[in-house]
Amino acid sequence: MLHYRVPTAQLVSALTLACAITACGAARAPEPTPLPARVPLESAPALTMLGAHRLVPAPASVTSAEGPPFALTATTTIVVPASGGEASRVGAWMATLLRPATGLLFPVSAADGAAPAGAIVLRRGGEASRGAEGYELTITSDSVRLVAAEPAGLFRGVQTLRQLLPAAIESEQSVAGVPKEWTIPAGRIVDRPRFAYRGAMLDVARHFFTVKEVYQFVDLLALYKLNTLHLHLSDDQGWRIEIDSWPRLATIGGSTQVGGGPGGYYTKADYAEIVRYAADRFITVVPEIDVPAHTNAAIAAYPELGCSRPVPVPSPNAPMPGLYTGIRVGWSALCHDKEVTYKFVDDVVRELAAMTPGPFIHMGGDEVEVLTREQYAAFIERVQDIVARHGKRMIGWEEIGRAKMRPGTIAQMWHADTLLLAARQGAKLVMSPATKAYLDMKYTPATELGLAWAAHVELQASYDWDPVTFFKGLTENDVLGIEAPLWTETVSNISAAQFLLMPRLPALAEVGWTPTSARNWESFRTRIAAHAPRWRLLGVNYYPSPQVAW
Ligand code: ACM
């Protein structure tokens, strides 16, 4: 999102850029990096030692073993616990992942006890101290044994197995003879995430993204062991979620986007599909309704919510007066002293809470220029009460530290040390420093997409930082985790989004997952290079950063 101190000239040129590359003309995302005519998979050296892995995020502990590798063959089976449940679902997910490229069957059977020879065995158990997402993986020539306390840990472990196989495993069709052998070197991996919250945000308000595009975004989160999908569902330019008690929010508020395209919104059924798709990958959806600022789309639909402030600059390409298709921020606000505002917030949060199984609702709270400090604090305190009344935990951008925070409210850092106001009140923190974690920042001045108000963020900058030491005085216990937000003023389709995500999203995933002792830039830049063939096979666009020998 734009910082409110962006000089006007930059805003104008950013808007011109947004129009140039997005909805005002034909979308011009950078072309997906083409797949070489003959994928050089045959020549890719097979992984012969587990210790030479190319895993991202790097596991906490990897030990190579002597002896031959485990090979996927026509007789390889997947064995899940007899009790079934979510562990069986993970087994079935793995079979679906492995079948297309290998052309092998991978029958899934349910049985406890010793593993039959040649099986990949999923088991619940191991040390509870590894947490819900920890796992251990033991690979011998006879079997692969994946053990986790919870199904989420099994799913994360399956992503490790996936990455240990040749990149060709991502192919949608059987690649006869390429590679000749699907092998995984022998050894043991014991792994668990450093932080409980590891997310990415997609701003579907500035530009609307279809349900299928959201799935494509989620697929990347899953591959890199992220566990939270934050959807920025409302802003000045669009309201993207159906709310029965205020229907015009979606039908009018959702009818445009930056640059004046048709916009769109998710029906409740669409949203349920997104929640289910994410949950199948053990990813929690955090919906955001940004209040009290960033609310022009809602006010355009229901003018009684505003204090009759007009849009700051005309939007000639907006489909209706009152709708806004530019990218300035900070100017809109709900009328803080009208009761209808709180009825609106209560209705929206009630409906959103009912359709969101996860524990969090994000209520924004950023970039409010038109309320006094006292008015802002009183507003946020009432909103926290509403969220709590509907059984959820509130997240807000760091500015909410200026209000009295309820126990359990989480502050998300983005640009300043306002966050420390929240930390001093005992709030848990999600770290998204714009200079490191904002995926909409350009890589370099030459990057066609994105903005640059915080920094140019090349790959190494997104990798080389620590969420706890970023601010003096924080402890590991203060930090719930990290999140990588993608604001979409300049991003109008998933291919453009992928160009900004990849390879920074995997770098940030490693910041969130891997213990400091196992993190190293030189190692990361070598490992990530091996992921590009995978992305090409998946049809994922990426920025070929010169910091990596691809
Ligand atoms: C923000 O970028 N305004 C949270």
Residue 267 belongs to domain with CATH number = 3.20.20.80
Mean pLDDT value of segment 76-91: 95
Separation of CA 430 and ligand 1 centre (Å): 13
Q: State the residue for tokens 């101290």.
A: 129
- Look up the domain containing 362 and give its range: 8-31+194-538
Q: What is the pLDDT of residue 481?
A: 98
Q: What is the mean pLDDT of residues 382-390?
A: 98
Contact in structure between 23 and 259 (CB atoms under 8 Å): yes
Which SS3 state, helix, strand or coil, does residue 546 take?
coil
Residue 45 belongs to a domain: no
* 297: nearest Cα among 322, 271, 262, 270: 322
The residues pairing with 16 across neighbouring beta strands, listed in sequence order, are: none
Q: What single letter denotes the amino acid at residue 216?
A: Q
Which of 159, 191, 223 is the endpoint of a domain? Answer: 191
* Residue 473 in domain: yes
End-to-end Cα distance, the chain:
30
How many A from CA of 399 to the centre of ligand 1? 10
Per-residue pLDDT, 175: 67
Residue 549 has pLDDT above 50, yes or no: yes
Tell me if 532 is assigned to some domain: yes
Cβ atoms of 333 and 307 within 8 Å: the answer is yes
Same domain, 93 and 201: no
> Which atom of ligand 1 has the smallest separation from the CA of 1?
2
528, pLDDT greater than 90? yes
- Do 186 and 199 belong together in one domain? no
- Total of domains in the chain: 2
Going by alpha carbons, the residue nearest to atom 2 of ligand 1 is 1
Ligand 1 center from residue 392 Cα (angstroms): 22
The type of residue at 333 is: A
Q: Which atom of ligand 1 is nearest to the CA of 432?
A: 4
Pocket probe for ligand 1: among 1, 288, 291, the residue whose CB has the most ligand atoms within 8 Å is 1
**pLDDT of residue 2 exceeding 60:** no
Return the pLDDT at 437: 98
Secondary structure of 268-284 in the HEC alphabet? HHHHHHHHHHHHCCCCE
Q: Which residue has the higher pLDDT, 401 or 23?
A: 401
Q: What is the distance in A from the centroid of ligand 1 to the CA of 333?
A: 15
Choose the weakest-confidence range: 47-61, 305-319, 388-402: 305-319
CATH number, domain containing residue 138:
3.30.379.10
Q: How far apart are CA 443 and CA 451, in angstroms?
A: 9
Residues 180 and 207 in one domain: no
Ligand 1 atom with the smallest distance to the CA of 364 is 4
* Residue 444 in domain: yes
Question: Residues enclosing ligand 1, CB less than 6 A?
Answer: 1, 366-367, 397, 414
Domain check: are 368 and 499 in the same one? yes
Residue 180 pLDDT = 62
Q: Is the pLDDT of residue 224 over 70?
A: yes
Could you read off the pLDDT of 233-242 as tens digits, one per residue?
Answer: 999 999 999 9
Same domain flag for 134 and 212: no
Rounded to the nearest angstrom, the distance between the alpha carbon of 85 and the centre of ligand 1 is: 40
Q: Examine the domain organization and report whether 156 and 247 are in the same domain.
A: no
**Choice between 344 and 113, residue whose per-residue pLDDT is larger:** 344
Cα separation, 404 vs 386, in Å, equals 14
CB atoms within 10 A of CB 517: 8
Whether residue 291 has pLDDT greater than 80: yes
Bigger pLDDT: 85 vs 505: 505
Mapped onto helix, strand or coil, the DSSP state of residue 443 is coil
Q: Give, for ligand 1, the residue of 206, 236, 237, 367 to mutate: max count of ligand atoms closer than 8 Å to Cβ.
A: 367
Q: Residue 43 domain-assigned?
A: no
CA of residue 231 to ligand 1 center, whole Å: 13
Of the listed 136, 170, 367, 399, which one is catalytic?
Answer: 367
Give residues with Cβ within 8 angstroms of 528, minimum separation 6.
Answer: 56, 459, 503, 506, 507, 548
Mutate to test the pocket of ligand 1, among 366, 368, 457, 488 (most ligand atoms within 8 A of CB): 366
Question: Distance, CA 438 to ligand 1 centroid (Å)?
Answer: 9
- Per the annotation, the verdict on 170 as an active-site residue is no
Q: 400 with 310, same domain?
A: yes
Mean pLDDT across the chain: 91
Q: Which of 165, 191, 217 is the last residue of a domain?
A: 191
Please say which residue of 171, 191, 211 terminates a domain: 191
65 CA distance to ligand 1 centroid (A)?
A: 47
Res 20 pLDDT > 80? no
Q: What is the pLDDT of residue 31?
A: 52
C-alpha–C-alpha distance, residues 83 and 162, integer Å: 25
Quick check: is 518 in a domain? yes
Residues 219 and 180 both lie in one domain: no
**Looking at the structure, do residues 272 and 168 belong to the same domain, yes or no?**
no
pLDDT class of 415 with cuts at 50, 70, 90 = very high
Verify that 122 and 109 share a domain, yes or no: yes
Task: Say if residue 24's pLDDT is above 50.
Answer: no
Overall average pLDDT of the 354-373 stretch: 96
**In angstroms, rounded to a whole number, what is the distance separating the alpha carbons of residues 23 and 490?**
9
Q: Above 90 in pLDDT, residue 4? A: no
User: What is the position in ligand 1's atom list of the atom closest to the CA of 412?
Assistant: 4
Residues in the chain, total? 550
Give the closest residue (by CA) to ligand 1 atom 1.
1
Supply the pLDDT for residue 330.
Answer: 86
Instruction: Identify the top-confidence range among 9-13, 28-32, 200-204.
Output: 200-204
pLDDT in tens, 427-474: 999 999 999 999 999 999 999 999 999 999 999 999 999 999 999 999
| Residue 467 within a domain | yes
Examine residue 319 and say whether the peptide bond preceding it is cis (omega within 30 degrees of 0): no
Domain assignment present for residue 74? The answer is yes
Most informative mutation of 6, 412, 414, 441 for ligand 1 (most atoms within 8 A of CB): 414
Whether the pLDDT of residue 145 is over 70: the answer is: yes
Query: Which atom in ligand 1 lies closest to the alpha carbon of residue 367?
Result: 3
CA–CA dist 226, 284 (Å, integer): 10
User: In the 8-state DSSP scheme, what is residue 29?
Assistant: P
Q: Which atom of ligand 1 is nearest to the CA of 397?
A: 4
Report the pLDDT averaged over residues 169-192. Answer: 84
Mean pLDDT of the 126-144 span? 94
Instruction: Please indicate, yes or no, whether residues 258 and 345 belong to a single structural domain of this protein.
Output: yes
What is the pLDDT confidence band of residue 310, given thresholds at 50, 70 and 90? low
Q: What pLDDT score was predicted for residue 151?
A: 97
DSSP string, 452-502: -SS----HHHHHS--TTTTSTT--GGGEEEEEEEE--TT--SHHHHHHHHT
pTM: 0.93
Co-location of 270 and 418 in the same domain: yes
At 34 the pLDDT is 44
Query: In the predicted model, what is the mean pLDDT of residues 144-160?
Result: 97
At residue 325, the pLDDT reads 95
pLDDT tens profile 29-55: 455 444 443 344 444 566 889 998 999
